[in-house]
Amino acid sequence: MKNTLTAAVLLIGDELLSGSIQDENLGHIAKMLERRGIRVRETRIVPDVEAEIVDAVNALRTRYDYVFTTGGVGPTHDDITSDSIATAFGVKNVVQQDVFALIQSYLDKKGVAFTPAAQRMAYAPEGAEIIYSEQSIVPGYRVANVFVMAGVPRIMKIMLDAIIESLDIGQEILSREVHANVSEGEIAAALEAIQHKYTDVAIGSYPQDPDSKRSNYRVVFVVRGTQSQELSLVCDEILTACRDGGYEAVGV
Single-letter code of the amino acid located at 29: I
For 187, the 3-state DSSP assignment is helix
d(CA 226, CA 200): 8
DSSP state of 199: T
By CB under 8 A, what part of segment 134-153 binds its own copies? Answer: 152-153
By CB under 8 A, what part of segment 118-137 binds its own copies? Answer: 118, 121
d(CA 45, CA 217): 33
Using the rule CB under 8 A, is 42 a contact of its own copies?
yes
Using the rule CB under 8 A, is 50 a contact of its own copies?
no
Using the rule CB under 8 A, is 108 a contact of its own copies?
no
**C-alpha torsion 91→148→150→122, nearest 10:** 40
In the complex, least distance from residue 40 CB atom to its own copies, rounded to whole angstroms:
5
Q: According to CB under 8 A, which one of 1, 45, 130, 239 is a site residue for its own copies? A: 45
222 touches 163 (CB < 8 A):
no
Torsions phi, psi for 206 (to 5 deg): -130, 105
Q: Convert residues 166-205 into a mask of x (bound to its own copies by CB under 8 A) and - (unbound).
A: ---------x-------xxxxxxx-xx--x------xxxx
Q: According to CB under 8 A, which one of 1, 26, 137, 239 is a site residue for its own copies? A: 26
Strand-pair category, 5-12 with 249-251:
unpaired
In the complex, least distance from residue 144 CB atom to its own copies, rounded to whole angstroms:
22
In the complex, least distance from residue 127 CB atom to its own copies, rounded to whole angstroms:
26
Nearer to its own copies, 129 or 200 (CB): 200
Single-letter code of the amino acid located at 35: R
Using the rule CB under 8 A, is 74 a contact of its own copies?
yes
In the complex, least distance from residue 158 CB atom to its own copies, rounded to whole angstroms:
12
For 131, the 3-state DSSP assignment is strand
Nearer to its own copies, 104 or 129 (CB): 104
d(CA 86, CA 151): 18
- The CA R_g of the chain, rounded to the nearest whole Å, is 22
Using the rule CB under 8 A, is 154 a contact of its own copies?
yes
Nearer to its own copies, 92 or 154 (CB): 154
Q: According to CB under 8 A, which one of 46, 57, 88, 162 is a site residue for its own copies? A: 46
Q: Which residues contact 152 (CB under 8 A, 6 or more apart)?
A: none
d(CA 140, CA 130): 6
Residues that bind its own copies (CB under 8 A): 13-23, 26-31, 34, 39-48, 52, 74-79, 112-118, 121, 152-154, 175, 183-189, 191-192, 195, 202-207, 209, 222, 224
